[in-house]
Amino acid sequence: MRKMELIAPCHFGLEAVLKREIIDLGYDIAEVEDGRVTFYGDEEALCRANIFLRTAERVLLKVGSFRAVTFEELFDKTKELPWEDYIPKDGKFWVAKAASVKSKLFSPSDIQSIMKKAMVKRMQERYHVEWFPEDGAAYPIRVFLMKDIVTVGIDSSGISLHKRGYREMSGAAPITETLAAALIMLTPWRADRILVDPFCGSGTFLIEAAMMAANIAPGMNRSFTAEDWAGVIPKKFWYDAIDEANDLVNTEIKTDIQGYDADGSVLKIARKNAEEAGVGRLIHFQERTVAELSHPKKYGFIITNPPYGERLEDKKNLPQLYRTLGERFCRLDAWSAYVITSYEDTEKCFGRKADKNRKIYNGMLKTYYYQFLGPKPPKKQKEKDNG
């Protein structure tokens, strides 16, 4: 099998979560940078990474990296890369995205155009043809420039990995599946602990948690661009990875995962999404306001993405909404709360400073992940809960 370097982009600030996931899959880390993790693998690793990674946005097959400060250098060094090792004569290839940070070359459209010309020139020489039909499998190229270092990868995922295939519809201001999974992984929550989202919307936090509890791989029910790369990834590796994922699923597990929302119509969407994800029986949805948040048991978790008040008409309601959330949380016995929001008075409304606070970008919006930690359950309590 071919040894490769694979690049997994992720949400900025959540690289450590993705790194742990990759190590848990059994692969060695090559480099961790802002917004991406590079690791070593082979054809099998590329398939397994696409199917099993919960927090990666996509998986790129690294073609190479080099320094370039002029467009001439960019052309020449792109032309030196072994494109014919990956892209067949009938392959459809283009530079789908170019991003530049702190580099002399900063025009995405110019970078894309020049790199495409260099790829064509290289492949003309290797395949001894003047023209490419580009009517075969797709090989979208993604390029990052950071301080004049150009990193080039072929996108094996296609549609972003946050598209699990279960969320056909969503409510207002949904959180992406990959971000939700990463935020859950930043908590000590496990399948045997209580989880409530009092602003569940279309159910993303709860569905991601239930998929983790049931060991459902996030990429089991979708397709990937690299499935058509016959000359690079034999079909057998995709079949083997799916078989592995199917063998791990356990939907018979017992859970206490609950979602509340004041909007009954959005709960219909949440229930449909949960069914599509195969976890409908693991989540209990209820039409409730945050003022009705309660639970009789100890040591539970709130993980939620409440309204931020991005619309002006909603802003006036935020202080009372967050005060109510804080008050209801205080009445829960020995619980922990994890709240992602851009609302700056969250701690004031909760009446206490967060034990931990993490800055995270939700799309282009700067948010904070406030972590109000409760006590750990005693070992006897854990055994009792498990028994």
Q: How far apart are CA 195 and CA 259, in angstroms?
A: 9
Q: Produce one character per residue of 69-84: b if its CB has 16 or more CB atoms within 10 Å, e if not.
A: eebebbbebbbebebe
CA 143, distance to chain mean position in Å, is 19
Confidence at residue 171, expressed as pLDDT on a 0 to 100 scale:
60
Contact between 98 and 111 under an 8 Å Cβ cutoff? The reply is yes
Taking phi first (over 0 means left), then psi (-120 to 50 degrees means alpha), and beta for anything else, what does residue 361 get?
Answer: beta
Mean pLDDT across 50-56? 98
Q: Looking at the whole model, is its pTM more than 0.85?
A: yes
Read off the pLDDT of each residue in 94-122 and give the average, rounded to a whole number.
98
Which tokens in the block code for residue 342? 């851009």
Is 78 a residue whose pLDDT tops 80?
yes
CA distance 236 to 229: 12
211-264 residue pLDDT tens: 999 999 999 999 999 999 999 999 999 999 999 999 999 999 999 999 999 999
The string of pLDDT tens digits covering residues 152-161 is 999 999 999 9
Please list the residues that pair with 139 across neighbouring strands: 93
Percent of the chain clearing pLDDT 90 (strictly above): 89
Cα dihedral 232, 235, 238, 241, rounded to 10, equals -110
- For 277-303, give the DSSP string: TT-GGGEEEEE--GGG---SSSS-EEE
> d(Cα 359, Cα 35) in Å, to the nearest integer?
14
- For the stretch 286-341, pLDDT in tens is 999 999 999 999 999 999 999 987 655 567 889 999 999 999 999 999 999 999 99
Residue 31, pLDDT > 70, answer yes
DSSP state of 85: G
Question: CA separation (Å) from 106 to 11, 71, 86, 110, 295?
Answer: 22, 10, 27, 8, 53
Q: Which residue has the higher pLDDT, 155 or 366?
A: 155
| Torsion over CA: 143, 60, 220, 13 (sign) | negative
Task: Locate 327 and state its tokens.
Answer: 């008050």
DSSP alpha helices (H): ranges in 105-223?
A: 108-127, 177-185, 204-213
The CA–CA distances, whole Å, from 253 to 84, 205, 249, 297, 382 equal 48, 18, 10, 19, 16
- The DSSP call for residue 256 is E
**How far does Cα 248 stand from its chain's mean position?**
20
Distances (CA, A) of 275 to 30, 54, 270: 38, 19, 9
Q: Which residues contact 125 (CB under 8 A, 6 or more apart)?
A: none
How far apart (Å, rounded) are the C-alpha atoms in residues 21 and 264?
35
